């Protein structure tokens, strides 16, 4: 289970940072930054992928009540402009800035750090090791899932209420049948391919190549 070994290396506030939504074909990438309290840390913090949606929701609500929490969101059109890597780095930066306080150190899940002025450490598999990164993974995942479920009401054909924008069979089939929505990432190959039949008939496209 994640612990506080890395956080205890520093005397001042330490923020854990993680993201959700690098892989989906639609919707934003969301990052969260969390500074855990000195006392009263919610029990059960873990890598968000190891937790049920109901547990993530409960823990996210508890974290908002007891911890310092910042969230950064980069939408699909900006992901297309920046590419997903730089969009993720921007979301992480926005999340730390959204904390609204100074931090001594930032712990980031993964092996790369944004270009920022904060002193920071990248930790591969950090959401399974660091409690603050695990907390950030929970907030980022629950926040993004909530966004995609809300979007699903306006775009029910893609099944986002269950797949959250990831490229499962149902989502890919709907992309082929209906084409992309304004929330799709057009720089991602399955979305770009789904746009082709909409711009010209398949036979016409074949005859041009």
Are 17 and 139 within 8 A, CB to CB?
no
Are 32 and 91 within 8 A, CB to CB?
no
- Is 18 annotated as a binding-site member? yes
Largest CA distance in the chain: 68
The whole-angstrom separation of Cα 53 and Cα 35 is 22
The whole-angstrom separation of Cα 109 and Cα 65 is 23
- Is 127 annotated as a binding-site member? no
Give the distance from CA 82 to its chain's centroid.
Answer: 16
The whole-angstrom separation of Cα 108 and Cα 84 is 17
- Is 77 annotated as a binding-site member? no
Q: Which residues are annotated as a binding site?
A: 18-19, 109
Q: Which residues are annotated as a binding site for a divalent metal cation?
A: 18-19, 109
């Amino acid at each position: 289970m994640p612990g506080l070994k890395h956080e205890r290396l520093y005397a001042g506030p330490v923020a854990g940072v993680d993201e959700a939504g690098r892989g989906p074909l639609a919707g934003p990438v969301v990052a969260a930054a969390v500074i855990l309290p000195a006392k009263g840390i919610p029990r059960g913090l873990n890598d968000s992928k190891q937790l049920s949606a109901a547990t993530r929701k409960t823990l996210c609500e508890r974290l908002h009540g007891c911890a310092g929490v910042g969230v950064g969101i980069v939408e699909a059109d900006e992901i297309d402009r920046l590419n997903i890597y730089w969009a993720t780095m921007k979301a992480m930066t926005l999340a730390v800035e959204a904390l609204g306080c100074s931090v001594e150190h930032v712990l980031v899940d993964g092996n790369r750090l944004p270009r920022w002025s904060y002193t920071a450490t990248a930790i591969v598999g950090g959401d399974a090791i660091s409690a603050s990164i695990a907390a950030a993974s929970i907030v980022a995942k629950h926040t993004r899932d909530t966004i995609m479920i809300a979007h699903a009401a306006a775009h029910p054909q893609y099944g986002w209420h269950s797949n959250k924008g990831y490229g499962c069979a149902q989502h890919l089939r709907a992309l082929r049948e209906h084409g992309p929505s304004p929330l799709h990432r057009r720089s991602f190959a399955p979305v770009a391919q789904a746009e082709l039949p909409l711009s010209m008939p398949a036979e016409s496209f074949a005859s041009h190549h």
